[in-house]
Amino acid sequence: MRIVSLLILMLVAAYPAVAEDAPSPAAKQFKALVDEYEQEGGARTFSKRFLALAEERSKDPAAADALLWVVKNVRGRSDTTKALELLKANHLGSKTLGPACADVAQSRSLAAEKLFRALLKKSPHTEVKAAACYYLAELLNGEAIVVDQLRAAPELAPRVLQYYGEDYGKHLAALDPEKLAKQREQVYETMLKSFPDVATQDATLGELSQTALFAIRHLSVGRVAPDIEGEDAFGNEFKLSDYRGKVVMLTFWGHW
């Protein structure tokens, strides 16, 4: 009986603490705005109101939620960039930025890379830093694909500008493939050194970064191909390097 009363007392005592965790006015405003948007739709119109809320209550954690709403729902617009810049200016310490990194990587704004680099340097949370590192690599990998496509088909340039927006599109068109490869290498080196044991769905960041570093250093256009040593179906040994001095067409095939 005494234990039960003690429990009740504890529950009563705990109650005020629960009340303190009640949503802040900014959080309530955020929730109301989300509800209103879900009724009406029109993300580009609503993004202005989410930005206004975040600026008005810049110290409140709900401001980060409002900015991340913009990043998630509006891509490649000036509002997207503004939201990313405000996150960088006011919310680098926020834990909610970790799970939001995937959206940041998809935001099609020049400010995304800057936010990732700032988080990598300044976030107090290891899991946020690791997420920023992983998605910075993903962002740069996506840029490398666009650069390759533009190199192979320069006529795609107007479509790149249209899809990625004027600022980011121009940045992508002007990227130097070698410098970009160097940047990707540096990000994966950081990942390997700082977050090797962080697990993702497929592998640890250590394993992922080692695979990526090998591809950047040895399997990219412009790099000396790794040698191949082995035997053919008849058991005869030969090497890829036997063919130095010749142009080589190397085909991975099967008769399936």
Partner 1 sequence: MKRLSGKPFALVGVNSDEDREAVKKVMADEKMTWRSWWDEGNIDGPIHTTWQIQERPSIHILDAKGVIRYKNISTEDVDASIDTLLSELE
84: nearest Cα among 117, 57, 119, 111? 111
Within 164-223, the residues that bind partner 1 by CB under 8 A are: 211, 214-215, 219-223
The minimum distance between CB 117 and partner 1, in angstroms, equals: 27
The minimum distance between CB 181 and partner 1, in angstroms, equals: 13
Alpha-carbon gap, residue 83 to 233, rounded angstroms: 59
* 3-class secondary structure, 133: helix
The minimum distance between CB 230 and partner 1, in angstroms, equals: 4
Alpha-carbon gap, residue 91 to 73, rounded angstroms: 19
Using the minimum distance from each CB to partner 1, give the nearer residue, 22 or 252. 252
Residue 18 binding partner 1, by CB under 8 A: no
Using the minimum distance from each CB to partner 1, give the nearer residue, 3 or 224. 224
Residue 246 binding partner 1, by CB under 8 A: yes
**Binding span for partner 1 by CB under 8 A among 123-131, 133-141, 163-171, 235-243:** 235-243
228: nearest Cα among 213, 217, 244? 244
Q: How many residues does the chain have?
A: 256
The minimum distance between CB 225 and partner 1, in angstroms, equals: 5
> First CA to last CA across the chain, in angstroms?
75
Structure tokens at 210: 């080692």
Question: Distances from the Cα of 225 to the Cαs of 71, 219, 238, in angstroms?
Answer: 40, 6, 16
With contact defined as beta carbons under 8 Å apart, do 150 and 156 qualify? yes
Residue 151 binding partner 1, by CB under 8 A: no
The minimum distance between CB 218 and partner 1, in angstroms, equals: 9
Structure tokens at 131: 């997420």
Using the minimum distance from each CB to partner 1, give the nearer residue, 28 or 223. 223
Using the minimum distance from each CB to partner 1, give the nearer residue, 20 or 155. 155
Give the footprint of partner 1 on this chain (CB under 8 A). Answer: 211, 214-215, 219-226, 228, 230-234, 236, 238, 240-241, 243-256
